[in-house]
Structure 1
Amino acid sequence: MQLKKYTDYALRILIYTGTKPNTELSSIKEISEVFNISQHHLGKIVFELNKMELLETVRGRNGGIRLAKPAEEINVGLLVRSLESDFNLLECFDKETDHCVISPACTLKHTLNRALHAFFKVLEDYTIKDLIVNEQELRNLMGMNK
């Protein structure tokens, strides 16, 4: 299973903003430079995270973004579920597109379905706070301590 870049970038934005004090704003420009991601693409993701009430945006000359709630309240599993739209790992996961002749007797789909549920169960055990437990190391790698 592979997550979309959109989800990957959303998690990076939340990790980045989560490593800053909540009084300090981040900019899309600085996040773009740290991760070498298009500002335009990040802007779309920030807009979505703001709609989800995970990021707060502050307009104006000294504006920017910050977490809208404490990092320990942002569940990684729930975030990934809401950002990812396709969990059909195989053709047979979707009855409308399933043309496999062994599908009625095949147990592979059940095995993969269990694995998918286990994947999300593990992710639901983590919050953004858990992902930034090594905050100082992350800040160093992102060039925040220069």
Structure 2
Amino acid sequence: MQLTSFTDYGLRALIYLASLPEGQMTSITEVTDTYGVSRNHMVKIINQLSRAGYIAAMRGKNGGIRLGRPAEEIVIGQVVRDMEPLQLVNCHSDFCHITSACRLKKALHDAVQSFLRELDNYTLADLVEDNHPLYKILLTDRVSLSS
């Protein structure tokens, strides 16, 4: 299974925000520059993460983005459910003439559920806490971005 780039960068944005000191604001531009993704794409991602409550976004002079809840409360499986369409194949009868007799759709459904259950074992905190190589990479990026 492959996640869409939308979900991939959504998870990366959350990792970036979770690596900041608690409550620290940053900008979408900083996240965009860190990952080399278009600002337009990241704005859409941040908007969806904000609507789901994972990110708090403030407008204005002192605005920016930060985590909307503690990293320990952000379950990776739920983030993927909220971001990803998770339909592996098109089983609509207009598209596939074997839909009424197909057993593949159940097998794929079960596989996706297993995948999500495994991701439910991880929180955002699990991905960033005491991850010194990650901090080093992101700190280097932040220093080079501000220079």
TM-score, normalised on structure 2? 0.84
Q: Structure 2 stretches of 5 or more lacking a match?
A: none
Q: Distance in 1 between matches of 2:59 and 2:127?
A: 28
Match of 1:136 in 2: 132
Count of matched residue pairs: 142
Given that 1:19 and 1:135 are in contact with CA atoms closer than 8 Å, whether structure 2 keeps it comes out as no
Given that 2:28 and 2:39 are in contact with CA atoms closer than 8 Å, whether structure 1 keeps it comes out as yes
Give the AA of the match of 2:37.
I
Q: CA-to-partner distance for each residue in 1:4-63, whole Å, 9 max, x for gaps?
A: 111111111100000111231111111111100111211111111111111111222232
Match of 2:114 in 1: 118
Match of 1:97 in 2: 95
Q: Distance in 2 between matches of 1:123 and 1:96?
A: 33
Residues 44 and 82 from structure 1, CA distance in 2 versus in 1: closer, same or farther, beyond 3 angstroms? same
TM-score, normalised on structure 1? 0.84
Q: Distance in 2 between matches of 1:137 and 1:80?
A: 24
CA RMSD, 1 decimal: 2.1
Match of 2:85 in 1: 85
Q: Distance in 2 between matches of 1:36 and 1:47?
A: 18
Q: Alignment identity in percent?
A: 37
Partner SS for 1:57: strand
Q: Relative to total residues, which structure has the larger helix share, 1 or 2?
A: 2
Q: Structure 1 stretches of 5 or more lacking a match?
A: none
Residues 30 and 114 from structure 1, CA distance in 2 versus in 1: closer, same or farther, beyond 3 angstroms? same
Q: Structure 1 residue 13 and structure 2 residue 13: aligned?
A: yes
Give the AA of the match of 1:116.
V
Structure 1 runs of 4+ aligned residues shifted over 4 Å read none
Give the AA of the match of 2:89.
L
Match of 1:69 in 2: 69
Partner SS for 1:66: strand
